[in-house]
Structure 1
Amino acid sequence: MSSTPESDGQEISPQDTLVVDENLAIIARQAIIDSSRAVYGYELFDRSTASDSFTAASDAALLFNALSYAGTEALVGKKTVFINCTHDSLSGGHLELIHPEKVVLEVPPLPNSATAEEIEGRVPTLEALRKRGFRLAFDQQALRRAYTSWLPLAAFIKLDMQAFKPELAATLVKFATTYSKATLVAEKVETAEQFELMRDLGVKLFQGYWFAKPSLVKATTIRPSQATIIQLINLVRKQASTAEIEDLLKKDLTLSFNLLRFINSSGFGLSCEITSFRHAVMILGLKKLFRWAALLMTTSRAGGAPPAVGQTAVVRGRLMELLAGELLTPEESDNAFVVGVFSLLDTMLGMPMERALESVALPEPVMDALLHGKGVFAPFLELTKACESGDEAAFARAANALQLSNRQVNWAHLQALTWAENLAAE
């Protein structure tokens, strides 16, 4: 994705809309800033449908899309993401997929018809989320007497500037700071006077249209076919080995690409980058892998990536793996497979390779081959492309550079084609 670079202390557009064209996932993003107008975090809203109704499923889909496709925009560095939740979604398994420190859960009040017992009955769920490390945000309804038991659980309280008169602001702020340790956020700030009023009362964070005009950010994504996702879910359900799951990931560029991008998003909270399929599966574990696959299934369309491109990518990956196996270590052969499969990522995404690779972590030798045509894997990629082109001179030069005979290369190419055809038939 491309957008105007942002940095702390720099004025930015507080509401951007992330449009995922192929799959109609639309996420509105509004910045939350501090008193010096540096970005503290972003609140995300699902704008995929015209409906304003929210369900546990829509909450899960929003969070999944944000983690998978907005990682380089909305989930940057230390920026915090605020997600609106329904009470049903607060018990959802999708929350197990994210690092609690990265996300604030905005919890709505219950309907006006809710009884004191019903309000009190939500406390155990909220406390459990707090113990897991999640921070909770409530609106000013939490300052009402009925929500007294919720107040100690608040990390943030959002004060809607359109919901009370300016002369009541001081009373609200004093009450909130006296009876909670929450950081206050003034939201729907639309004038300089509102901003200055709340800032002078000690409010730390602000959100609203006054700070800048909206701008648009577009992202292009690729999704695996539902049939492939079902295969993955079935493997996980029968507790298949890591090797079996890795084998499926090797078969499908879009599946492996999505997994590596997801697990390396800042929302997942890992301190190091994961660059191999096997490592990703081991880190994620079967339970979380099932959650991820299930969410991917719900947000994918019935079709998939263009089959001809995907088929060519798989052939390239397998051919490079076989050729590298003649000369390199098993680990390097695995990376050669990644080079081959991802060598068509720019075509799959319809964007330059450099931009396509921004959202997925890969080992440096893999990046060198894909971006610069250099390093240990570059000659193998050149030979693989020569096999496709039918250019005999290029084929001879590439094979000679690796000191591989025509027979070795042709045999490996035949094996790769057969392997890819067998995959397509499964």
Structure 2
Amino acid sequence: MSTTTDSPTPAAASPEANAFIGRQAILNEHREVFGYELFDRSVAAFTAASDAALLFNALSYAGAEALVGKKLVFINTTHDGLAGGHLELIAPEKVILEIPALAEGANAYDIAARCGVFASLKERGFRIAFDQHVLSQNYASWLPLADFIKLDMLSIPAPQLPAIVGFAQAHTKAQVVAEKVETQEQFESMKALGVKLFQGYWFAKPDVVQAKTVRPNQAAIMQLLNLVRNQGSTSEIEDLLKKDPALSFNLLRFINSAGFGLSVEVTSFRHAVMILGLKKLFRWAALLLTTSRGSDTAPAIGQTAVVRGRLMELLATELLSKEDTDNAFIVGMFSLLDSMLGIPMAVALEVISLPQPVRDALLHKTGVFAPFLELTLACETGDDSNFARLAEALHLSNHQVNWAHLQALAWAETFSEMG
């Protein structure tokens, strides 16, 4: 896959692409990305029609196969949406269907009547996730069919969680997912109970200490970024890389990765400059920050930063100049700079040379890149009205946003195992 700024719009748009796709990461106990929940951000969400559209969009767009090949995909569905040809488009072994409880007042007979449909889906290779309702007596018939049980941390009182988790572990073979995790404390408490999957973006919230310093490996990358950004001589940059063989190795490894798509192997930094130029090389040096983490930093932060950078780049392609599109990538990548470095954003930006519009977007959410950054962040949140407003303000269609979003997720996968 090339890193050139491909258009966010594929050649042939699907007429069924009528849903905005949102995502939220699901992490394992090591805070690595285990999978993604994809959900419909459209006004017509949670209808059978929007279910079909979401499934079609998520798994038939170019680039989605690469995403599904690496990570599990959790998809919200409705009971009506479980029937239909759109399920035939999906590679079932990589898809978890999130199925809600029935409407309030449903009796045990109505609930048990759904088991045949669920069993059929499992025979086809799908896995099923239920929410905490499946642990109640009325839903006992569903319990043996659960592969995942999602516990809402906002709706379950904390004192009840040990008993609920214990019941799920004792009476099912399902994996428990703690969702809507908002703090490190919640993560640690659920992990202590034996929960191994967590959903939410608490891990991306900067945990900064004013006196904290940048780690040595990160300081070397920051020095490299400044040299490249300030058009330092090739010999100056080579001298830095010679002093840090690991940095040199990792930079060449990124450049020669599948994500770059070069037809020849780059064997030295001087060779890289000849082929790419310093401006293009800056982005690849920036990517090194996503893997230069300490033991206290979630690996998912780096992958999220890569997704944001690529998504911003693709969204900006048709609306900004080539140079601004390159800078949009940097804005998205560095939107988590404070979390990656463990220092406040203002302090982080003091030690790296960046164009003023990039700094304005990161520090003040102003300037040409701010709307693209806001939309990129909105892809990760539950504020549907804000999401729609931001997309409309940029005159981007749902199809363009979805295409860019899925391409960014797939592209980030080419670097997910390089840390």
Q: What TM-score does the superposition give when structure 2 sets the normalisation length? A: 0.46
Larger RCO: Structure 1 or Structure 2 (Cα < 8 Å, ≥ 6 residues apart)? 2
